[in-house]
Chain A
Amino acid sequence: MEFPFRYILTVSELTQEIKDILEDKFPEVWVEGEISNLRVPPSGHIYFTLKDDFSQIRAVLFKMQARNLRFLPEDGLHIICRGRVSLYEKRGDYQLILESIEPKGIGAFQLAFLQLKERLEKEGLFDAANKKPIPMIPQKIGIVTSPTGAVIQDILRILERRFENLHILLYPVRVQGEGAFSELAEGIKYFNKFTDVDVIIIGRGGGSLEDLWAFNEEGLARAIYHSKIPIISAVGHETDYTIADFVADLRAPTPSAAAELVVRDKREIKNTLHYLEGRLEYQMIQILKGYQTDLSHLRKIIKEPGKKIEEHFLRVDDLFNRLRLLFSWTFKRRREKCLHLSESLLLRNPIQRVKNLRLFISEAKKRVGKNINYSIEIQRQRIGGLLGKIDSLSPLSILQRGYSITRKHPSLQILRDASTVKEGDKVEVKLFRGTLLCGVEKTEKS
């Protein structure tokens, strides 16, 4: 471009020219690069530098467009952007004004999922300690899912089969699309606030990551976390994992599996109870039997006190009888003996004896009396006779006849032999009258 004479531009004029050129040339570009120097001021606009190994360019994603972002832009993230080139006069910077950005090499959804998962995990929303136990016998079950489709049918069918008397409350929602996550969250809040269900099942059938996206939304995750009622998440297929699955108190691989997890088969529980009762009874019987055996065993060793007392009674009575008999017999005998003795005694009565004797004596006296006179006469005669004899024999009579008794003097030894004296001895001669004291003049033997 040529100027006929020197045309001096102002900075603004130059800048404007450049801006026009840029905007004309690059009304829409797709650029690939790495985020750095990311800044998000309170305004909500996202400023960063897009760079590669050799160059860099400033970029901005205004709040309006940023709203649609599913993921969080981060430094180091490789992205593909769509936008236009422009120039910011105030600073003399050219920049990319972006319409949208996408992570490179990974889906936006996937990235968003990973970012949210990491963030919530750090916050502790997935912690096992927060998970509430699912009640074994929920009598009221809340379900948040679509009222149409196979999912609710499957769940209901399985529940009916396992446990026929359940109270099931369905909070119908959309399970995909814009705002579906809000409805799901509302369902949870409703059950918490207005009902007394024991457990909540939220879920849907299988689908793409985008289809399941409602269950990856932060809003739903927080609603699940704050629920006082335990929640079972049942999303898609076995291999699908959503944020809701991580936050929930229990994850079921499929909605049908949720129905099986939420309640045990009623018959199975009844069987268990029956079995336990059986063991209980059996054991009790065993225990009682054991004690019974002990008891009868002991009984054999120890006689019943009642019996023993009876035995004693019998014995005592028996002894008493015998004693009584013995006593009366002995008594009788003694009595008899006593009588006998007293009779004997009576017989030997001294008074009687004396009487008898007296009688005897008087009898004897009488007899003696009779004989005594006779005897006395005879004795008299006898005595007279004897006296006569005595007289005749008496020395005196002999002396009378003229004999004398010569006795030695002084010994008075009667002398019969003359040789017993010698001449000169003294002798005493007793005469019938008087005594002579003589001396021996001469002795002669005859």
Chain B
Amino acid sequence: MRMPKERFEDSLNKLEKIVSKLEEGDIPLEESLKLFEEGIRLSRLCNQKLDEAEKKVEILLKGKNGVLKPNPFDTSINSGKTPLDDPEKEGEE
């Protein structure tokens, strides 16, 4: 699962390299076209990746059987739950 996400940087780097290469010039026409197509593909891919992730904010809490499970975390309210002990409230900013 981690591989496709790491590829974002690679895709972006490749795209930048392609743009530089085309701007340098001195490339035969066919290769230019191939690079161009690849560049556009990479750009679309990157855009896609940016919008891919799903928005979710969750907190892990122990369920009935003692196993931790994600639960929706309401950021507007301080949910004082921890799976293990009572929350330590002192000394925190």
Residues of A within 8 A of B (CB): 135-140, 146-153, 156-157, 164-177, 180, 183, 186, 190, 194, 196, 198, 204-208, 211, 266, 269-270, 272-273, 276-277, 279-280, 283-284, 287, 291
Contacts and interface: CB of A to CB of B under 8 A. Distances in A.
A173 B82 contact: yes
Q: How large is the interface on B (under 10, 10 to 19, 20 to 34, 35 or more residues)?
A: 35 or more
Interface string B31-46: 0110010011001001
Q: Is the interface of B mostly helix, strand, loop or mixed?
A: mixed
A279 B75 contact: no
A166 B53 contact: yes
Which one of A137, A194, A272 has the greatest number of beta carbons of chain B within 10 Å? A137
Nearest to B24: A283
A166 B53 CA distance: 6
Contacts of B43: 273, 276-277, 280
A156 to B, nearest CB: 5
Interface of A is mostly: mixed
A180 B88 contact: yes
A148 B1 contact: no
Contacts of B32: 284, 287
Nearest to B9: A136
A52 B78 CA distance: 55
Interface in B1-49: 1-2, 5-6, 8-9, 12, 15-16, 18-19, 22-23, 25, 27, 29, 32-33, 36, 39-40, 43, 46-47, 49
B40 A205 contact: no
A266 B1 CA distance: 21
B79 interface: yes
Contacts of B92: 146, 148-151, 175-176, 204-205, 207
A173 to B, nearest CB: 7
A156 B57 contact: yes
B5 A138 contact: yes
Contacts of B75: 152-153, 156-157
Query: What 3 pairs between A and B have smallest CB-CB spacing?
Result: A205-B93, A139-B53, A174-B88
Contacts of B36: 280, 283-284
A165 B47 contact: no
Contacts of A153: 75
A202 B40 CA distance: 38
Contacts of B90: 176
A152 B87 CA distance: 13
Contacts of A205: 92-93
B54 A170 contact: no
27 contacts: A135-B5, A137-B49, A137-B53, A139-B52, A146-B82, A147-B79, A147-B82, A149-B93, A151-B92, A165-B53, A165-B55, A169-B70, A170-B73, A172-B59, A194-B68, A269-B46, A273-B12, A276-B19, A276-B43, A277-B43, A280-B22, A280-B36, A280-B40, A283-B22, A287-B25, A287-B29, A287-B32
A230 to B, nearest CB: 10
A211 B9 CA distance: 38
Nearest to A196: B1
Contacts of A171: 60, 68
B59 A135 contact: no
B60 A170 contact: yes
A147 B59 contact: yes
Given A280-B19, A280-B39, A168 B56 contact: yes
Contacts of A148: 78-80, 87, 89, 92
A136 B8 contact: yes
B29 A291 contact: yes
A147 B2 contact: no
A183 B37 CA distance: 50
B88 A139 contact: no
B56 A198 contact: no
A185 to B, nearest CB: 12
